[in-house]
Structure 1
Amino acid sequence: MSKRGIILNIQRFTIHDGPGLRTELFLKGCPLKCEWCGNPESWKTYRQTGIYTTKCISCNKCGSCREVCPDRSMLNFTDGKLTSIDRSKCTNCLLCYDACPSDAIKQWGKTMSVQECMKEIRKDKGYYDRSGGGVTISGGEPLLQSDFVLEVFKACKDEGIQTCLESSFYAEWKDIEKILSYTDIIISDIKHMDTEIHKKHTGVHNAKILENLKKLIKEERELILRIPVIPNINDDMENIKATADFIINELDGRVRTLQLLSFMRLGEEKYYSLGMPYKMKDVNVDRESFQEHVKTLAEYFNSRGIHCTVGTKEKE
């Protein structure tokens, strides 16, 4: 019987997470809760509903969600429009999503089998062959569904399709190790070198992540490393120098590319659709000056002998 996973999204023709043209599977569930995350709908390991009030026709003209909801008291309306759901009562049955005619209720996540995923993947095999691309599995945190990732990667390798795993590597080594034989490229990131600051802004300490990165280097894995550059959180020179020291001394400098990803305000509407606060709401940066700052950081890493670019490209 084919294993099943909770898929957030499947994107075709992606070019940012691995070489060539790729099909990227985003899996649901993540143990980190990064304040700057643009995809809060990926955090939970189960399907969820997102509420978009501006699309609601109003319960006076429609009312479909109220008709099908097992407990109408969980639906909150303002001026006749659905504004939120009491998540403590919601069972995520998704009957309201099925009934809504106006896309005011969105479904985050669906269950798919390995073969259903492979059917989508095979559509683009010709593009992989011509561009040097393949399949990337990301998240959320894909290692929360490590058995599913393993089966998808096995199926890909059986058909000669290149594989790439994008992970925070906040996971048990046994869940990483079993996938390595079927993984061609690894993408990970370092959010902060100070473990307490890391926990403050992501919800977890970084010791497990750093140890797993060191083990991956010993396994001689192809590693692309990233730093999400977040203003006033990890972009100070003390942290940047500590990160460079770690890459050189603990990873033996064996990083294919270090990519600096400049902070952008993404996913704000998604937070509100889930009834969550957006913690980066008050963070505003001058884009031009901030990009110059990020370029300066890249120059520093390159001066230390670490191949570094701004953005997801591997070459300047």
Structure 2
Amino acid sequence: MTSAHTIDVKSLAELVRAQAAGEVAMLKAEHGIQPGLAVVLVGEDPASQVYVRSKGEHSQAAGMHSETHRLPAETTQDELMALVEQLNDDPKIHGILVQMPLPGHLDEKMVLAAMDPNKDVDGLTVVNAGLLASGMPALIPCTPLGCMLVLRQTLGNLSGKRAVVVGRSVLVGRPIAQLLLQADCTVTIAHSRTVDLPAVCREADILVAAVGRPQMIKGDWIKPGATVIDVGINRVPFRDPVKAAEGKTKLVGDVAFKEAEKVAANITPVPGGIGLMTVACLLANTVTAAKRINGLDG
């Protein structure tokens, strides 16, 4: 039995970042515009700190104006809302990303409601979600956008394919389903309460795993020859008792990779997969936002 083709997400992410950098250089040279990204981090969540540092480094490398606002965990709702309003009004900033999750005492919906939809480069405001659902131009959430770029590069035309999305979050599950519909796929959104979830997954030509449960999707859930997009990033202890005793952990996806690669035709790895596309698409969205805000094609 042959193993699945492990999709080279790293090379595609590098290409998307290079394209964004080229557009930044063009905007500077031809229009005097430097796309600006502001990332807001509240608290000390370790995973969020890693993501925020990566976003800052890549935006600077692309030639963007980059700001990182690090706020203490005890930041009040009013203080956070004031910062969002300040960034809304700042002409140097074209993209605002408030790193989720926020500490429990803060209301994420209030923060998103206060954000200028034109600067919502994570595509989470009600305005951008509504535009996407209506098939109109929107700032698309970065992870689903990255998934679609990977699928188009791997499969070309997606029309007519049966797609199953496992997960219904507003950040990934729902928007990727909308994008697959726009690509003329037949789409099922499944989740933890779906009756006979393995059987539903086996119907998929394209299986997107975005449920947030380590290695939940097993090899025998996958249709032979399917393309599997694993969005999950879960930190789990090593099975090796020595490493586990030392407190060492590893990253795994929502798919049991070693089982799945024996069945699927194509599969994304974890780590080194869709997470790379998320950061690359954040840069692309910031360029798009800068163009639209300045009345250019975006």
TM-score by length of 2: 0.31
Greater share of strand: 1
Instruction: Kindly name which structure, 1 or 2, has the bigger radius of gyration based on alpha carbons.
Output: 1
TM-score by length of 1: 0.29
